[in-house]
Amino acid sequence: MKLSDGDRRALAAVIAAGAAMVLCFALRSTAVTHMEPLAWEPPAAAVPAREGLVNVNTAGLEELMALPGIGEVRARAIIRDREENGPYRYPEHLIRVKGVGEGILAEILDQITTGGDEIAQDIGG
């Protein structure tokens, strides 16, 4: 039986595709190994609030002003931002407030909280 040029090309394509599939399955079976699950750590917002921390989602003007680098203007900006954009999910989200940069955040990070599980649930965490 003699094959036409078109039939030979089609047969060659089918053979090449089959060979590629065999190669893929062979490589996959040798490359896949047992993977250990990664340790899970809850996000900062899921950790319950610690005593003595200022909750940036509920703190008033005076509480916020007690933080280093947060004066009246920044405290008002924090309150305005959380009213307009919703609660902070993570303490690091304070950076979205104009006037609160990396430096100020670094100073207050160990003194603030976002409220733990309660806030995370309220905003879909």
State which amino acid sits at residue 100. V
CATH class held by domain 44-122: mainly alpha
* 43: pLDDT strictly greater than 90: no
**Residue 58: both structure tokens together:** 């509920």
Q: Predicted confidence band at 67 (pLDDT cuts at 50, 70, 90)?
A: very high
Buried b (16+ CB within 10 A) or exposed e, 12-41: eeeeeeeeeeeeeeeeeeeeeeeeeeeeee
In 3D space, the residue among 103, 113, 27 whose CA is nearest the CA of residue 70 turns out to be 103
pTM beyond cutoff 0.85: no
